[in-house]
Each structure stands twice: as structure tokens, then as C-alpha cells.
Amino acid sequence: MVKFLHTADWHLGLKYKQLGNKAQQARDIRLKTAQKILTTARDNSVDFILIAGDLLDSNQVDRNLVGEVSQMFQQVSPIPVYLLPGNHDPLTRDSLYHDPVWGSVENLTIFQENKPVVTGNCTLYPCPVTQKQSREDPTEWINTQEESNQITIGVAHGNLQVGFIEDANFPIHPERTHISGLDYLALGEWHSLFQHPDREGINRTVYPGTPETTKFGEDQSGQTLLVEIDAPGSTPRITPIRVGALIWQKREEEITGLPDAQYLEAELKSIPKSGNQVIYLKLRGVTDQETISYLSQLEDHYHDYFLKFQVSLDDLYLKPNLLELKALIPEGAVVNQTFEALTALMKTQPEIQDYADISSQRSQEVFNQLRDQDLVEGLSPEVLNRAFLLLYQMIKEVSP
């Protein structure tokens, strides 16, 4: 049996340009998450740690970072750490993996060639990246026919060819485990957890995702994987373990009045660990000037409360008067009739008669055309007002 930790895409030294003056804070969090991964490995008494590429965001990161990471690896000794250069930190002439500081880390092996490495009852088949781009499958060389008594594990960094990416950099055959006889293929490159089943439906090809989210859309990130394989040919037991601290979320909220805005702000205040949150808030709807003014101040008020807080008001419209709405209505019988029926219905409600600029005679004509009298009589001012605002929003969105 073997038990190991599979991780990848740490991207230490990531610039985080989109976070502005909070970028260093985010980089410090990534480093703490890396430490948490190593602590997780030690707590679970793993046989070794596999880092499947992109430990560093580039070969131009601060060299002091190399020293910090090397010390972190030494702290988990004697657990072996196997490190694969990826496409962000390839083993090129300027590679930071040539730095002599790595040589002092006795429990670290940096894969430098396509050559099997034996560790206990396992044979590892590493595929180190030596250039930024390639259209060749880095795993094609793997052949495990002579390792019938060993658990076989491939380690690579690239794009599994399962239809997600065209003209992929470092393409990897989706049936590599079957073709090459691998018990497990530890991959890096994709930032969300992804498990690919083989012909028998067994997940042997796996991306752990980045342990710390780098941007919006990486919904299955923030994890590392504990993998256990009992014997050659056995089904791997894969346990995701959450380690990430940063939370990136996009929210979309509809606003119709000041109570909606105040409720939204109360929700923002109740978010735990706000200093680790990156929030993009998109507001939509139709409301009054007081509410829009209130919402326009949110970004400034919560700039320091969250790691990053951005508010979009592009789809939030100012409540119109009747003449403004009429001017927006395109030619067409259906739209005009809908608008006229709605304003006629509003005529019955004193609270919203400011919208109902329609004569009593025309109102009666419209009522006579409406078939469902029970519906007409049962409509509340709130429902009518809401319908009016939705009509305005729909017309606004299709207007040039």
C-alpha cells in the first residue's frame, strides 16, 4: 500500500495585479496555504508528497521566496517531496530550480528528466517541463510493462484532451493510464479539481486544482488530495482536503428600493473572514435616486473590509416617469398594448397614480379588453409597480 499527497499549481509569487495594493497580502496567504499543505501531509503520515508543476508562478519571482520554500520542505523531513517543473516554472536555463539552495534540502527531489524513480513499493514516472510551450504529449514515453510488482504513478503537467481546450499546450492523451499501465496519473495545470475515469469507470487521472484560488471561476479550487492505493491495479482512494483561505465570489442582486439595499449591506457585514474575500457585486433592477446614491457608496465603505470589493451599477436603472418610458418604447402593437394596459391598471391605485398618465375614458376601454376581471381586481399596488419596473427594465435593455 502507498499513501501520498497530490498537489499542484501553488503559483507562489503570483503578482495578483487585479488586487492592487492588497496583492502582497494575497501572496502571503498563498505561502501560508503551502505551509498548511505540508502540515496536512505530516499529520496524515504520508509516504511522500507529489507537486505536479507550477510551484512558482514564474522563473522571475523573488529569489528570497526560493529560500523560504526550501526551508518549508525541510520542516517535513524525512517525508520525501517530489517536485515537477511546470509550464510556469519550466526547467529552462533561467530556471530557479538551478539555484543551489535546493541542494541543501535532503528530502527534496526535483524531477529533471523522463526517467522512472523508485520510492518504496512505487515507481514514479515524471514528465518535467523544459519549455514554455509544446504540442507534444509529455506522457507518451511512459511504459510500465516491466513493473508488475510496483504501484505505478505518472506525474505530468498539461492539458487532458477531453474536449475542453483546442490546440492545447502540452496535450495529454485521455487514456494514458490504460495505454501506459499506470495505477494513477497525478496531473497539474487545471486550477479546479477534476477526476477523469478510465475505461472501467475508475478515477485514475486527476487534477487536484490550485490549493489557493487565483481568480473567479475556479470553483473547485482550494484543495489538496490524499491518495491511497493498496496494490498494483487497485482502485485509488482519493480524499480532497480543503486548505485554501481565499474566497472569490461573484454575486448578482436585484434592487428595487432602499430596503433591498439595506438588506444587502447587512448581508455583507455578516460575511465571515471578510479579509479573505474577493467579491464582485453586480446590481440590477430599477430603483430611485436615493437608493442608487446609497449603493454607489458601498465600494468605498467596504474597500478595506474585504480583500477586494467591486460593485457594478451598470444594470441598475433610475426609475423613470411615464414620458421617459413612452419615449423608449419601440414601435409594435404588443409592447404598446402591454404598456397601455399596465398604466390603465395603475390608474386604480392612488399610491402609484403618478405613473398612470392615461385618461379615464381610455382606461375604461382597456379594462373592457381585458378578459380576466378577477385578476384586474386582485392586483395590488406592489404587483403593479413591480410589473411597471420590469417592463421598463426590459425595454431599457433592448433600446439602442
pLDDT at 361: 55
Distance CA 149, CA 163 (A): 34
CB 309 within 8 A of CB 279: yes
**Pairing between strand 159-160 and 171-172?**
parallel
Q: Please give the share of the chain, as a percent, with pLDDT higher than 70.
A: 79
pLDDT in tens, 64-106: 999 999 999 999 999 999 999 999 999 999 999 999 999 999 9
Q: What is the pTM for the complete model shown?
A: 0.80
- Domain range annotation of the chain: 2-242, 247-318, 322-398
pLDDT averaged over the chain?
A: 86
Q: Cβ contacts of residue 355 below 8 Å, gap of 6+?
A: 321, 322, 343, 346, 385, 388
Distance CA 115, CA 145 (A): 14
Cα distances (angstroms) measured from residue 268 to each of 271, 273, 279, 283: 5, 11, 10, 14
Q: Please give the share of the chain, as a percent, with pLDDT higher than 90.
A: 70
CB 309 within 8 A of CB 303: yes
pLDDT at 341: 54
Please give the average per-residue pLDDT across 143-168, as a whole number.
Answer: 88
**DSSP labels for 200-239?**
TS-EEEEE---SS--STT-TT-SEEEEEEE-STTPPPEEE
pLDDT at 316: 87
Mark out the alpha helices in 8-103 (DSSP H runs).
23-43, 63-75
Name the 3-class secondary structure at 254.
Answer: strand
pLDDT at 218: 94
pLDDT at 359: 54
Cα distances (angstroms) measured from residue 57 to each of 27, 53, 96, 193, 215: 11, 10, 11, 19, 14
pLDDT in tens, 227-238: 999 999 999 999
pLDDT at 286: 81
pLDDT at 325: 53
pLDDT in tens, 36-66: 999 999 999 999 999 999 999 999 999 899 9
Sign of the alpha-carbon dihedral angle for 7, 13, 18, 22: positive
Per CATH, the homologous superfamily of domain 2-242 is: Metallo-dependent phosphatases (3.60.21.10)
pLDDT in tens, 25-36: 999 999 999 999
Letter string b/e over residues 23-40, b meaning 16 or more CB atoms within 10 A of that residue's CB: beebbebbbebbebbbeb
pLDDT band at residue 390 under the 50/70/90 scheme: low
- Grid coordinates in use for 46? 504520508
pLDDT in tens, 327-343: 555 555 444 555 555 55
pLDDT at 85: 98
pLDDT at 321: 56
pLDDT at 200 exceeding the cut of 90? yes
pLDDT in tens, 306-332: 999 999 998 888 776 555 555 555 555
- Residue whose grid cell is 517543473: 85
- The neighbouring-strand residues paired with 279 are 249, 309
CB 389 within 8 A of CB 286: yes
pLDDT at 41: 97
> How many residues are present in the chain?
400
- Grid coordinates in use for 252? 448578482
**How many other CB atoms are there within 10 angstroms of residue 315's CB atom?**
16
pLDDT at 275 exceeding the cut of 50? yes
pLDDT at 285: 86
Name the 3-class secondary structure at 354.
Answer: coil
Please give the average per-residue pLDDT across 295-300, as a whole number.
Answer: 93
